[in-house]
Amino acid sequence: MKKKEIGYEDIDFAKIDYLRQERTGQPEVIFCQGKTPEQVVAITESIIRNGGNVLGTKVSDAMYRFVSERVEGVIYNHTAQTFRIMRHEPATTDSYIAIVCAGTSDLPVVEEAYETAVFLGNKVEKIVDVGVAGIHRLFDKLEIIRGAKVVIVVAGMEGALASVVSGLVSSPVIAVPTSVGYGASLHGIAALLSMLNSCTPLCVVNIDNGYGAACQASKINKL
Amino acid sequence: MKKKEIGYEDIDFAKIDYLRQERTGQPEVIFCQGKTPEQVVAITESIIRNGGNVLGTKVSDAMYRFVSERVEGVIYNHTAQTFRIMRHEPATTDSYIAIVCAGTSDLPVVEEAYETAVFLGNKVEKIVDVGVAGIHRLFDKLEIIRGAKVVIVVAGMEGALASVVSGLVSSPVIAVPTSVGYGASLHGIAALLSMLNSCTPLCVVNIDNGYGAACQASKINKL
Amino acid sequence: MKKKEIGYEDIDFAKIDYLRQERTGQPEVIFCQGKTPEQVVAITESIIRNGGNVLGTKVSDAMYRFVSERVEGVIYNHTAQTFRIMRHEPATTDSYIAIVCAGTSDLPVVEEAYETAVFLGNKVEKIVDVGVAGIHRLFDKLEIIRGAKVVIVVAGMEGALASVVSGLVSSPVIAVPTSVGYGASLHGIAALLSMLNSCTPLCVVNIDNGYGAACQASKINKL
Amino acid sequence: MKKKEIGYEDIDFAKIDYLRQERTGQPEVIFCQGKTPEQVVAITESIIRNGGNVLGTKVSDAMYRFVSERVEGVIYNHTAQTFRIMRHEPATTDSYIAIVCAGTSDLPVVEEAYETAVFLGNKVEKIVDVGVAGIHRLFDKLEIIRGAKVVIVVAGMEGALASVVSGLVSSPVIAVPTSVGYGASLHGIAALLSMLNSCTPLCVVNIDNGYGAACQASKINKL
Amino acid sequence: MKKKEIGYEDIDFAKIDYLRQERTGQPEVIFCQGKTPEQVVAITESIIRNGGNVLGTKVSDAMYRFVSERVEGVIYNHTAQTFRIMRHEPATTDSYIAIVCAGTSDLPVVEEAYETAVFLGNKVEKIVDVGVAGIHRLFDKLEIIRGAKVVIVVAGMEGALASVVSGLVSSPVIAVPTSVGYGASLHGIAALLSMLNSCTPLCVVNIDNGYGAACQASKINKL
Amino acid sequence: MKKKEIGYEDIDFAKIDYLRQERTGQPEVIFCQGKTPEQVVAITESIIRNGGNVLGTKVSDAMYRFVSERVEGVIYNHTAQTFRIMRHEPATTDSYIAIVCAGTSDLPVVEEAYETAVFLGNKVEKIVDVGVAGIHRLFDKLEIIRGAKVVIVVAGMEGALASVVSGLVSSPVIAVPTSVGYGASLHGIAALLSMLNSCTPLCVVNIDNGYGAACQASKINKL
Amino acid sequence: MKKKEIGYEDIDFAKIDYLRQERTGQPEVIFCQGKTPEQVVAITESIIRNGGNVLGTKVSDAMYRFVSERVEGVIYNHTAQTFRIMRHEPATTDSYIAIVCAGTSDLPVVEEAYETAVFLGNKVEKIVDVGVAGIHRLFDKLEIIRGAKVVIVVAGMEGALASVVSGLVSSPVIAVPTSVGYGASLHGIAALLSMLNSCTPLCVVNIDNGYGAACQASKINKL
Amino acid sequence: MKKKEIGYEDIDFAKIDYLRQERTGQPEVIFCQGKTPEQVVAITESIIRNGGNVLGTKVSDAMYRFVSERVEGVIYNHTAQTFRIMRHEPATTDSYIAIVCAGTSDLPVVEEAYETAVFLGNKVEKIVDVGVAGIHRLFDKLEIIRGAKVVIVVAGMEGALASVVSGLVSSPVIAVPTSVGYGASLHGIAALLSMLNSCTPLCVVNIDNGYGAACQASKINKL
């Protein structure tokens, strides 16, 4: 079969990479922004045809409706703007990823990270709304955060929570700046710069990139 | 009761901090942007349940309608995009905060500051449309501005009013840049930079952050 | 005398404003950057001639040497890059300003704020190196910070300390971002943006502007 | 003569445009930054050879010494970082340009504008150190500013002086932002943005561009 | 009458400055963006009541309809997004302002400048679509441009036309960058920076600020 | 005929340059953004009247419908947001341009480049979705890319594909950054900067500027 | 002993946090930039007194000489601008960290990461100068990179190497942008943005932050 | 021989790619910035050992002296900051590259492009100081520019020359922005943005990147 030899399926407007799982331990995922609904369905069908589960990110409600009318078993998370199609259940880890966020408005990014982590077979604990404005809420949840093998911290505005958490735990910390805020938050740039300059060591992904944070966390959680 | 011990109420997607008043002298306030109407109602009800007054900021008209249909006594300020629910009236200060603005287009930010200051129990004087394009209007109102214990200056475009006022009064000055303008105003960044570089000492809050300015002003007004 | 009528002394390249004390409660101060040593000496002599104390900021070592060879009683703070000349001692406040900083590298800005506050007649407490990387150091000093009438928080890198302190105290908080850091700190812009987007209310001055923070703090401390 | 036909003199690394005076009313001027001393001397000699006066801008002290050792009659203004060579005196206007500046540290830009304006045959009045921190100094000088046919306002930091002056006079106003300041002044960008967003109509030139402001002012002053 | 003494009419949310004409030679104009239709009508009525003509800028179609239903004689320019109400015709200048633009997409800014210049009593010549991509079109129109007392150049994208025109004429040149373009044009910042760095002297106003350019041009045209 | 003499047709709001083909080898093209449908039709008709083919870029669906109802033979590419009207078929080159893109979401820019290249008479090969996330897909297509006389690489996000391709081929490479991405992609600025700093030599056009890339590529392909 | 109770040693200008190892698994490290040599020596002595090893980063040659004349056993890495003092040897891991870099000019950052990783007890493999300009060099070293438990990728200019490596390995990837480049590299911002927008999942630290990358990598390598 | 098999020579801190000529038609070149003199010598010797000519860019005077004392036949261009070592002379093209620049201060970039083009075996014509401030100089040289197979345009400040030239010639145009300017030129960013937004099609390389422009031009010139 040609696909096997060349390592991808060529469907004209896309080349679905089915060696990615083997190479990187994680399958190709559909970044839906900028794609037409028809393209997303075709890529989805190709992945399923090749035996994979499907994860779509940055999925609008209209996109979801279009896909779910054509493909079975679509699990939509409206807050996360993701869909999953699980043709087989992945094994789940014993250790867990903690996803910690500063405020309720950060939930869409928390949920994107959550959906991705679950898709990749991880156990996850969510700790929501523990921003530094009421730091006792964070200390109250410290034990559960310290118990994680890797911690994702999601925060907008000034993003201070990431530095604080990273100074309190011994596991690796992945910080996700969010676009929550206004004015000088510059759509998340303020939080991004804050996290990049953290006085405690941590590493950072793109603004609102719950997906990327979960991919890295999953790799670490499975070590 | 568990809430008392841990200092907050945990309602799944939010942890309402009811020690904040004690710690900082000001209660938790609801930043509505990025929250669902359902979340805002639930947080509102929790605050009321815990005996507090409620202030919501960055409230859209649709959000207001949703909340007011479910909670009684909602006072909406459409210009400010805020709502207040006053279950008990706070004592009002004798001294006052002056809120001075450059132009009519700055009124939404003036009103957000006004609503916050009133919510926190302050007497307020508003002096509107006294920008440097017609500086005699400012001099005409100088006595009332000088009588304030603390002055908030709200200005967009080049934000020059803040420097001018600060050179004429002896009380502390808090400058609020607004996003009024276009082109090189960069959605308020020009006014923000202008105020940060004022040749007269003053301090600055985020673009369009009438709320934050009023919080600081209230702390100062109550000294 | 003409000066009295016009309210300033005109020495060709400068017009020393000796009504500023009366108008704003604080005298004119010499911003030395961009001025020649000869100009600084002439302005210094004019202020002394008019009965004032002198504060110079952004003073290089060479500038200091030049001035101190020509004017008596120059008190230089090398770390702060300031000089003071105190022809008469100001009364000192009973209440105090707390100046809190994140790291040892922030000391130049702490010292500029300190020198200014002392120049203006304030009692000051310095709390150094209590950044969020070791947050127990901050909690250990919380009582002394909470005892202040107004708090200045000085921090570079991600500037998270300002948000954390402001969530723990009831006095007004003035945040000073510093240029400590490298790369994406953008010479202090990261800390500045972080503070402007703080999830706890506070107000902000220019990067490395210990002087301006102390001016505002002094106004508040004397209320 | 070939030069006449083609309208410039070609000296290998430069083509001196001797039709510029005719086309634009103002001769070619030497922007010295990025040129070698040898190049500046050769261009200077070409201009003199073609019967012109010479103005050099952005001239370092070393550059000046090199040129003045090789060419006679070089008038250097160290503050302005300009030199002039006047082989014939231009007629001087009756009306004058007012050059107004906010602080003593802005003098280098004032002087560059002054040298250029004088080079082009204008009468000039300088009004120095009348920034908005002591606005009575400005009002004291308003008559002389209002008497000018065109006003240049030079200011760094927040540049508020430009808006204020423009609201008080009926002549055209050209604003020159300067790089005076630090931190969020971004080497003059703050003042530049401030002036571009002025609530009073004015027009703006590049940061520290006293030369360009004087060129425009001269064109206006000679109408 | 109180208004006369204080120099403005106070209508609560605005203070209409009716000394501006006397001070600056140009009356107050209504910047409609960020104002409610009701506010615009009230300010309009105040100006008419005080005997003035009215110019509104940044006027949406809806705003225009609201105003024209309540006030008589509204002249709307849809392209310019301006309205004028001329209760008395101003005298018109003999000399003219040339408004030159690079492309058809720059017309809204050309029209805003045109409306303002006409409102202020100027004769105007428009020269449209002579950008440097077909520079012979510019040379073809050079005579009419050179005949103007002052030239406004309107251009988006890279804004090169301003530098080229300014190198070919002896009258003052005011450059207006427009937001025409995409990607790295950064909504007009590219054209703005280009004009500020012109190798030929000119001066610049804010992006899309046809109004401000015409105000300055009118002052110059009337000298 | 006057047009012939002056080299363009003047239709009031536009001057259609019909010497451009002669001067630059490529005809004038209609940049539709910021133009009214009526203006686009009028320019289209002028070009056809002068014997040319027509290409419109940045064409909205509404604009297309308006034009196609008034002009015959409009070929619309919805993905590219372009229309073409081919009154005569251009000769087609033997050599080809390769248009290579990183992901499916980059297709609109690929298509704009494709339409332009075809309009200008080039043979084109498209190689889609060969981004570095699955680099074996690129190597699989290397032969066809190496066979091109010139290569256009279209990529968003981090734009790494351009550097990689340019290190593998000997033909000139033109990189087109796209606005595909979110957060710190800054609407394509990240990809643009990436390409400008490529460690392999290549040259770059504006974000999403498939048109400009194809124009350059066509000039090269026809050498 | 008081230190034990409060968890740090207070030496006036610094509070050395000796609970950090316990809390985060990694000891406090000295960021030398912005500190005086005397301060660095005092902190060094405090750490040694408390039984720790010492790592200093951003160490100038002068700083190193000052320290090494006062403290024994200082190991200086001139390229890395770090010093280490190892009073006891840490256990070394079996698994290793791969540090991969694009070019020779990136070596200072590679060495900072190397020194930190070794200080923290990790086995390290360096793979130098395998940038995408000659991608066969990378493929030649792929086995050793794939063998690492965690990979650090160091690259300046467009930083494409990070995306490419991350698409080829299954271990977590930490990308470090460097300030290598000029012009539009914006001192490393181009590489930083490139890495944040990688189409393959990875996480990122500050520009030139070899230290921070190694801290995270060490945490992962020790899982 | 191992090198042959793996396609590069590994000298510890560098891997010299000797397949690059074969793959891309151009050999590896030494970017000297950020490398030590010892490293540059070692790489130079490796290239010579492998039979190549050597080109070094961004070479300081000190670096040149160090290299020329150790390697024979070093041709240094001080203005260009490049060195070449030509062990064998390349064939020279019949067609030529035109390098056109706006001003004398742009010469360093012109020279870097020149040295690179000559190194790669191209005939070159330089046309210097023909910026738009005196556009007749450009028209005077148009024939020689039009005769080139490809044109490089080098310009700082507003970079308008690139757009103008590109509108006048039919050959491909590569624009090089330079860092010539000050203030809002932002070290060349203004010229870069200007060129990226050119209304005439052209393509662009990094600021001051004469090397990259010449590499592309050479590829085109040899088609």
* Tens of pLDDT, residues H88-108: 999 999 999 999 999 999 999
Contact partners for chain E, using 3 or more CB pairs closer than 8 A, are B, D, F, H
**In Å, how far are D38, D57, H117 from D87, measured between CA atoms?**
21, 18, 43
pLDDT at D183: 98
Nearest-CA residue of chain D relative to B134?
A: D167
pLDDT at H1: 40
* Tens of pLDDT, residues B73-119: 999 999 999 999 999 999 999 999 999 999 999 999 999 999 999 99
CA-nearest of A102, A13, A119, A144 to A56 is A119
- Touching status, chains D and A (3+ beta-carbon pairs under 8 Å): no
* Residues on chain B touching E192 (C-beta within 8 angstroms): 183-184
pLDDT higher than 60, residue B201: yes
Quote the percentage of chain E above a pLDDT of 70.
98
Nearest-CA residue of chain B relative to C152?
A: B203
pLDDT at G6: 80
* Residues on chain G touching H192 (C-beta within 8 angstroms): 183-184
Identify whether the C-beta of residue B119 lies closer than 8 Å to the C-beta of residue B148: no
* Tens of pLDDT, residues A126-148: 999 999 999 999 999 999 999 99
pLDDT higher than 50, residue F97: yes
In 3-state terms, chain G is what percent helix, strand and coil (to 5)?
A: 40, 20, 40
pLDDT higher than 90, residue B3: no
- Taking each continuous run of H as one helix and of E as one strand, the counts in chain E are 10, 11
Report, as an integer, the average pLDDT of F63-83: 97
F189 touches chain H (CB under 8 A): no
* Residues on chain H touching E189 (C-beta within 8 angstroms): 193
**In Å, how far are A40, B53, B143 from E130, measured between CA atoms?**
45, 63, 55
DSSP secondary-structure letter at B202?
-
**Burial bucket for residue D50 (CB in 10 Å: 0-12, 13-18, 19+):** middle
D80 touches chain C (CB under 8 A): no
Please give, rounded to a whole number of angstroms, the shortest distance from the CA of A134 to a CA of chain B.
6
Question: Within chain D, which residues score under 50 in pLDDT?
Answer: 1
**Burial bucket for residue C38 (CB in 10 Å: 0-12, 13-18, 19+):** exposed
**Closest Cβ–Cβ partner in E103, E164, E189 for H164:** E164
Identify whether the C-beta of residue H155 lies closer than 8 Å to the C-beta of residue H177: yes
pLDDT higher than 50, residue E1: no
Task: Give the Cβ contact number of residue A4 at 10 Å.
Answer: 9
Please give, rounded to a whole number of angstroms, the shortest distance from the CA of A75 to a CA of chain G.
23
Three-state SS string across chain H, please? CHHHHHCEEECCCCEEECCHHHHHCCCCCEECCCCCHHHHHHHHHHHHHCCCCEEEECCCHHHHHHHHCCCCCEEEECCCCEEEECCCCCCCCCCEEEEEECCHHHHHHHHHHHHHHHHCCCEEEEECCCCHHHHHHHHHCHHHHHCCCEEEEEECCCCHHHHHHHCCCCCCEEEEECCCCCHHHHHHHHHHHHHHCCCCCCEECCCCCHHHHHHHHHHHHCC
pLDDT higher than 50, residue E177: yes
Helical axes F107-119 vs F210-221, angle rounded to 10°: 40
**Closest Cβ–Cβ partner in F104, F137, F184 for A207:** F184
Q: F167 and G191: CB-CB below 8 Å?
A: no
Query: What stretch of H or E contains G126?
Result: strand G123-127
**In Å, how far are A2, A32, A218, C101, G197 from G202, measured between CA atoms?**
31, 20, 12, 33, 9
**Burial bucket for residue H91 (CB in 10 Å: 0-12, 13-18, 19+):** exposed
In the structure encoding, which two tokens stand for residue B59, read together? 């409230």
Please give, rounded to a whole number of angstroms, the shortest distance from the CA of G17 to a CA of chain H.
36
Please give, rounded to a whole number of angstroms, the shortest distance from the CA of B31 to a CA of chain D.
28
C125 touches chain G (CB under 8 A): no
* Tens of pLDDT, residues B209-219: 999 999 999 99
pLDDT at H6: 81
| Confidence band, pLDDT 50/70/90 cuts, at residue A6 | confident
pLDDT at G74: 97
**Which residues are CB-neighbours of D56 under 8 A, at least 6 positions away?**
D29, D30, D32, D40, D44, D63, D67, D82, D83, D84
G96 touches chain A (CB under 8 A): no
pLDDT at E6: 81
Average pLDDT for runs of 10 along chain C of length 223: 74 93 94 96 96 96 97 97 96 97 97 98 98 96 98 97 97 98 98 98 98 98 97
* Tens of pLDDT, residues E67-114: 999 999 999 999 999 999 999 999 999 999 999 999 999 999 999 999
D14 touches chain H (CB under 8 A): yes
Q: E174 and D203: CB-CB below 8 Å?
A: yes
**Closest Cβ–Cβ partner in E135, E184, E196 for H184:** E196
DSSP secondary-structure letter at B183?
G
Can you name the residues that pair with A55 across neighbouring β-strands? A84
Task: Give the Cβ contact number of residue A87 at 10 Å.
Answer: 12
Task: Give the Cβ contact number of residue A1 at 10 Å.
Answer: 6
**Residue G135 CA neighbour count, 13 Å, CB half:** 25
Report, as an integer, the average pLDDT of H57-65: 97
* Tens of pLDDT, residues G56-82: 999 999 999 999 999 999 999 999 999
In the structure encoding, which two tokens stand for residue H132, read together? 């738009």
Give the sign of the dihedral formed by CA B62, CA B67, CA B68, CA B70. Answer: positive
Show me where the domains of chain D are located.
3-85, 96-221
Q: A134 and B20: CB-CB below 8 Å?
A: yes
DSSP secondary-structure letter at G212?
H
What is chain F's Cα-based Rg?
A: 18
F-to-H residue pairs, Cβ atoms closer than 8 angstroms: 89
pLDDT at C2: 56
In chain F, at which residue ranges do the beta strands (DSSP E only) sit? 8-10, 15-17, 30-31, 54-57, 74-77, 82-85, 96-101, 123-127, 150-155, 173-177, 203-204
* Tens of pLDDT, residues A87-110: 999 999 999 999 999 999 999 999
* Residues on chain D touching C58 (C-beta within 8 angstroms): 182
The CATH architecture to which C96-221 belongs is 3-Layer(aba) Sandwich (3.40)
Average pLDDT along chain G:
96
**Closest Cβ–Cβ partner in H7, H34, H207 for G184:** H207
D212 touches chain E (CB under 8 A): yes
Identify whether the C-beta of residue H163 lies closer than 8 Å to the C-beta of residue H151: no
* Tens of pLDDT, residues F154-182: 999 999 999 999 999 999 999 999 999 99
**Closest Cβ–Cβ partner in B108, B136, B182 for E208:** B182
Q: A201 and G216: CB-CB below 8 Å?
A: yes
CA-nearest of G39, G212, B171 to A197 is G212
Please give, rounded to a whole number of angstroms, the shortest distance from the CA of F31 to a CA of chain G.
28
Can you name the residues that pair with D126 across neighbouring β-strands? D99
In the structure encoding, which two tokens stand for residue H75, read together? 């041709």
* Residues on chain G touching A168 (C-beta within 8 angstroms): 23-24
pLDDT at D1: 40
**Closest Cβ–Cβ partner in D134, D182, D183 for C8:** D134
Q: E105 and F43: CB-CB below 8 Å?
A: no
* Residues on chain C touching G43 (C-beta within 8 angstroms): 104
Helical ranges in chain D per DSSP H? 2-6, 20-24, 37-49, 61-68, 107-119, 135-140, 142-146, 160-166, 189-196, 210-221
Contact partners for chain H, using 3 or more CB pairs closer than 8 A, are D, E, F, G
Maximum distance among all Cα pairs of chain C, rounded to whole angstroms: 60
pLDDT at D6: 81
CA-nearest of F192, F135, F191 to F167 is F135
Can you name the residues that pair with F124 across neighbouring β-strands? F97
**Closest Cβ–Cβ partner in G166, G203, G223 for A204:** G203
H25 touches chain G (CB under 8 A): no
Please give, rounded to a whole number of angstroms, the shortest distance from the CA of H37 to a CA of chain F.
21
Q: H216 and F200: CB-CB below 8 Å?
A: no
pLDDT higher than 50, residue A1: no
**Closest Cβ–Cβ partner in E31, E34, E207 for B183:** E207
Nearest-CA residue of chain H relative to D205?
A: H184
Q: E135 and H102: CB-CB below 8 Å?
A: no
Give the sign of the dihedral formed by CA A78, CA A82, CA A86, CA A91. Answer: negative
* Residues on chain A touching F137 (C-beta within 8 angstroms): 6-8, 15, 17
